[in-house]
Amino acid sequence: MRKKGWLWCGFLSFLLLCGCAEPKVIEEIGLITASGYDPGKNGTILGTLVELKIDPVATNDVVILETESSTIRGIRNAANKKTSKGLASGQLRVILYGEGMFNKGNTGIAESLSTDPVISDLTYLAMADGKARDILQLKAKQIPDIGIHLYNLINQNTKVKIMPSATLQEVLHNHFTVGKDPVLPILKKEGNKEIAFSGVAIFKGSNLVGKISTEQSFYLTLLTDKFKSGSIDIEINSDSSKLEPINRRLNKIVASLDSIGSSSDIKLINKEKVEFDLNVNLTARLLEITSQISLGNPENIKLIEKEINKSMKKEIEKLIAYFQSKESDVVGLGEVYKSSVRHSKLTDEKWYKMLKEAKVNVNLDFTIRRTGLIE
């Protein structure tokens, strides 16, 4: 009897397995590596798909497909009519949204993608400055495969934290969390041959409310993430007589920092009248400064530290004021509030009101580790 039980178990589990897998042999499918969405005519969506189609005979392996459909999924089905191989989105690496998709308050796009199990949670999302289609249609000699190129571009910049990380999982998480809002990096077509990171889009819920520059993006990362390496050029606004510009041509002082290490900590210090303490620790190596100041003197180093501290603090305060004016909480102050106050029953609407009146004290502690290395 026991033996028969075994047989039955094995047999039944085999039967159950039969429904599991749907064969998709790699050479019989066209792999979508990147997709872009723009608003189309009459409220439809214009989809641009980059298909990697491997054919040993063909010279070009990348096919760009354009279709219009009412739904995101419909785009793939419509594009299927144009290809010789069935399209599959399991290798999708980058999703690009045209700016127009957010202008009309179009929402729910990321959600519809997240319900597709074959799409990786680590797919990068980005917003195109202009149309996504124009970026994906870019034809340049040095870019044989636009999908892979975009992926490498975003991946590389995200790893060194020049770009804020915006994977599908992170964007969705920030979207659905009360007290935090998503950001998307903005990609811009420069000339006819290049694509560059040009800024960060700020969202309130799923509505695009503002943009910040790539320089400001550094401060945003400073507040939300940790730096372990990285470099930045920072402008010092100072009236100290010691810090004079090195030449007349560049009439400002710029310090080049390297090996940045940072940590940030947000604390709620007043629950009634919402007030936050924002402590940022920052260490860096000073490589270069466009001033004639002698770096051998420790007092001068102290001075530079102080001045950089001041300029950075001003930038951060400006940035937070901007976020507050746009009612967008990309730093995640609401999350801190929610975790510090019991039974706060925070909702998005409640929080956006509180955010406008919240006071944020920025404490920045910047130290110069050393001043460059001599070869």
Partner 1 sequence: MFFNKKLFLPKINLPSMDKDLIPATRELMSAEFKKRLQDSADILESEIGISGITLFSISTLIDKTMLHQDIIDPIKNKSFDSVQKIKEDLSIGEMEESTQMEKVVNSALDGNVIIYLEGNSSVLLVKIPSQVGRSVTFAQNESLVIGPQMAFTESLKTNLTLIRNYIKDISLCIEEIKVGARTNKTVSLIYINGIVSEQMVGTLRKRIQELKIDGILDSSMLEQLLSENSLSIFPQTALTERPDRVSDSLLKGKLAIFVDGSSLAIVCPQSFMEFFHSMEDSNVNWQIATFLRLLRFTALFLSVFFTSIYVAALTFHYEIIPQTLLFTLSESRAKVPFPPLIEALLLEFIIELLREAGARLPVKVGQTMGIVGGIVIGTAAVQAGFTSNILIIIISLGALSSFVTPSYTMGNVIRILRFPLIILAGFWGFYGIMYGFCFLLLHLLRQTSLGTPYLAPFYPPRLADWKDSIIRLPLSFTNKRPNQTRAEDVYKYDPVKAKKHK
Residues that bind partner 1 (CB under 8 A): 3, 10, 13-14, 17-18, 20-27, 29, 31, 33, 52, 54-56, 61, 88, 90-91, 93, 118, 120, 148, 151
Minimal distance, residue 86 CB to partner 1, in Å: 11
Q: Is 364 exposed, middle or buried (0-12, 13-18, 19+ CB in 10 A)?
A: buried
Residue 178 CA: distances (Å) to CA of 189, 207, 264, 336, 350:
34, 15, 21, 11, 10
The Cα 12–Cα 319 span in angstroms is: 61
Minimal distance, residue 110 CB to partner 1, in Å: 19
Q: Which is nearer to partner 1, 145 or 305 (CB)?
A: 145
Classify each residue of 49-69 as buried b or exposed e, where b means 16 or more C-beta atoms within 10 Å of its C-beta. Answer: bbbbbeeeeeeeebbbbbbeb
Q: Which is nearer to partner 1, 39 or 147 (CB)?
A: 147
The H or E element spanning position 275 is strand 275-289
Minimal distance, residue 54 CB to partner 1, in Å: 4
Q: Which is nearer to partner 1, 59 or 241 (CB)?
A: 59
Q: Which is nearer to partner 1, 20 or 374 (CB)?
A: 20
Minimal distance, residue 318 CB to partner 1, in Å: 39
The Cα 126–Cα 163 span in angstroms is: 10
Name the token pair of 67: 């279709």
Minimal distance, residue 193 CB to partner 1, in Å: 23
Minimal distance, residue 36 CB to partner 1, in Å: 18
Q: Which is nearer to partner 1, 69 or 158 (CB)?
A: 158
The Cα 106–Cα 193 span in angstroms is: 30
Q: Which is nearer to partner 1, 57 or 373 (CB)?
A: 57
- Residue matched to tokens 């419509």: 78
